[in-house]
Amino acid sequence: MVLYFCKGLCDPHCLGGIFIETRTGFLISQIKQIQGRVFQRLLAESGVEEFNGPQGQILYVLWQRDGVPITELSRQTGLAKNTLTAMLGRMESSGLIYREASPSDRRLALISLTEKARGLEKKYDQVSQRMNQLFYRGMTQADASTLDGLLDRVLANLQDVL
């Protein structure tokens, strides 16, 4: 990280009189790309062929709570609604999810898991545990907590502008 002093808050990179030049965005993008490839490999090694990594994000949300509207899935996964709609179509064709109308608003589609998808949760959890071991390898518990806290703040900052 490189710090420079700047004159004021008019520069978007100026934070309280200090210009911050970092590689954070680049690193986060690299981590996302590599994490996706590693996660896909771990799924394959575990014999999971029913879904891919991005679909796993959707399943994870639905394993926490079934009957979720697409707008909520979009918010929780960070996936754009049009991307999510296409993925849900493929997942529905694969027998992982189904859509049903909300009892309170028939125009609202709720996304729920099939029994087939429920049966994959344990394998997904095992792969996720392995990913966490890789993410935090060589870190103390304090390091991992600090990293998670900082990433939560970055995420919240970005969500504020959506």
Q: Flag whether 39 is in a domain.
A: no
According to the model, what pLDDT value does residue 16 have? 58
Distance CA 39, CA 87 (A): 18
Distance CA 133, CA 29 (A): 20
Is the per-residue pLDDT at 4 higher than 70? no
According to the model, what pLDDT value does residue 7 have? 52
What is the model's pTM?
A: 0.78
Is the per-residue pLDDT at 139 higher than 80? yes
CATH number at residue 84: 1.10.10.10
Backbone angles phi, psi at 8, to 5 degrees: -165, -170
Q: Flag whether 125 is in a domain.
A: yes
Q: Which domain holds residue 77?
A: 51-137
By C-alpha distance, which of 107, 106, 64, 61 is closest to 88? 61
Q: What is the CA radius of gyration of the chain?
A: 19
Q: Flag whether 155 is in a domain.
A: no
Q: Flag whether 117 is in a domain.
A: yes
Helices and strands in the chain: count of H runs, count of E runs: 7, 6
pLDDT band at 23 (very low <50, low <70, confident <90, very high): confident
Is the per-residue pLDDT at 20 higher than 80? no
Is the per-residue pLDDT at 10 higher than 60? no
- Look at the chain and report how many structural domains it folds into: 1
Using CB atoms within 10 A of its CB, is residue 82 exposed (0-12), middle (13-18) or buried (19+)? exposed
pLDDT per position as a tens digit, 90-133: 999 999 999 999 899 888 999 999 999 999 999 999 999 999 99
According to the model, what pLDDT value does residue 19 have? 57
pLDDT per position as a tens digit, 41-90: 999 999 999 999 889 999 999 999 999 999 999 999 989 999 999 999 99
Contact 114, 99 (CB under 8 A): no
Backbone angles phi, psi at 137, to 5 degrees: -55, 130
Q: Flag whether 110 is in a domain.
A: yes
pLDDT per position as a tens digit, 151-162: 999 999 998 998
Backbone angles phi, psi at 108, to 5 degrees: -95, 120
Distance CA 124, CA 129 (A): 9
Q: Flag whether 86 is in a domain.
A: yes
